[in-house]
Structure 1
């Protein structure tokens, strides 16, 4: 039994180890001189379209079995010899441009994706031929836009134009231009050689002129000494010179006729080449126009699909968001209603508690008064008596009277023995509501120890005696 368990454990360990090795075997590292291209199901782009491949440079990736596979793109530079022959320049002169280009697969993200889509699976020789065709076409295009003098003298401008044009076209297939080297440029008509000879002759003539100017002063003296001899020699040689000039005229006329014939032949050949080149360009433009129309229709269909899908997604998102906002508003309203209900319930419980406490206090007060409600009320009034008197006194506290003028004849008011001023002040105090009136309005009787109704409260509170005068003028301060 223990032996069987040991065998089972060993089998499980072996299976797990084999599975681990299989998983680790699908992990691929990318060397520095290569690009790892993973294809199959590799996700989608930012715009939602499916990705054709995933390119990795300088890293590693796990290759999912069954649904993914991989290949490598070599970053080794490719040297291309582009010896352009009979390229037509802007002056309609054919020239030879021997050059060498060095290209390689680009590691920029977007261009690297183009290389994965267009160069994956091609051999190095096939990639070289494809790049060579692009280089020849762009090189001819640059030569056709420049003069021979400009190509020969301003070599930097020529190389910059070639590099820009070739670089743009190579990026479309995932390549980048590393180096351009153009050697001597030749033409079949000898125009460039003639330009060189002209420059050399000009330099030689300038040098001779400088030497002659330096030696002029010394030669003048020698010329004066030999003048007579030269005059005689010239007279003797005049006849021979006439014969030589006649022969030279014949030779020059023959040379002029030859050059005229050659120029006419060259003109006819150049015109024929221009006509054929124009026809070739016309056919190329027609083909390019058809290709552009097809590409425009494809892009239009792609854009329409993207817009419709995006609109449907936006519509669903808007509906989901509206439903979520409505649910939030409903939950918020239920929460606010619950809060208001809790608040009102708490206020009601507080009011009930206050009323119950007041009822208990009044019940205790009645019990203290031996069950007599009037006695209980009198106890409550006795407790608040100070405040009631204060309120009664303050009834005229804020009454402002700057000046009171009283015309008094000196006699008492209606036989009471008081002056008019005293009667005025007594009447003012009598305007205060009496306590017994307040008690009556409350349905109670004022205790006897607080006074009776038969005695006027104005006389009990204030007694004012005034001396009999014909006219009294008093200034009362502000209360």
Structure 2
């Protein structure tokens, strides 16, 4: 529960805080430097704030403002005013005023211009300033007004200051902008002065022209003297220059003659040097051409030898490829033949089965006959299959012998292929040697056995079959000394089922 006694005790404090907040928020004022804030109401003497802040108690005090800045007042006369010499003039002037800053006169300004804008203050002061200027114009002559405007403006300020002090205003300055008269007398005074000025100017001009003419004559005389002296010096310098040029020309011609003679001598020496170098170059060129021809002959000889060797290598490669192709072909044919026999056996077996099934359908007796025939066919197929297996085993056992037989069979064809390039030769030019044409031809023809021998070596390295040893098998040395025998190999290669020797050809005994 709330304690009402505590609330009642704190109520004055709360009210005081509220009052202070209201006073601060509603009564706080701050005056700028060009305005005076006047706070009045509770005191007999109002408070004046200029460029500082203060507190105005709401509802009890009032805030008023007074402009303290500079004010421009136009005090131009609206009609012509007679001067001391009875000449009607119209004067246009501008005055700068402001509110006085001392306390007493500021109170006067508060009474007269409180809460007024600067334009309103200028309008209120304009009549008083114009009256003061009219009084001063009546005391001065037209010449004095035009010739001494500073004195005129000072008199206006002095006259108006007394009235402005009563209003709390200070006059800062007063400037005369323009003065005009009703009949143009100011212009006539100006013309008089203009004529006098023109007269003085004409006299000054004539005197200046006289001085100029005298100075010009003196200058022309001095210039003429200087020109004569300068031309004399120029003539002397020209003579000296001509003499110097002649001396230099003489020395130059002498040096030129000496240089021409030296040039001719040097030219003849250079021509002799060029001729010697030309002869040497021709000799060197001839030697290089001879050496070049020797090198060309050597290159042609090497090219011919390379062509012959390249042809021999190509023929050898063709023979090797033909031998390999023949061997591969024979192997493929053997495999195809074996495959055909196997297919034939399978077909016969299938036919026997079909016949057996047909016989069973026809009759029981015929079935027995069919079984006998099927047994005979089966025995035949088995015999053929067994023969094919033995032939395959023979191929495996006599592989080198069979390959040797095939290679031997194609040797005549290989030799013919090697000799074909010799048959196509129309003309042979032999470079090198001892000049014997028959010996050169025999050398080329002798390449055939050499190529055949290289072919035997290549086949021996590739297949392991030594054709040279096989071809020597019938010799006395092969049979007696080395015990070489190839019996049975030809029959197996030709397709015999039994063969002469079931164990295959006897291999070469080392």
TM-score, length of structure 1 as denominator length? 0.39
More helix by share: 2
Larger Rg: 2
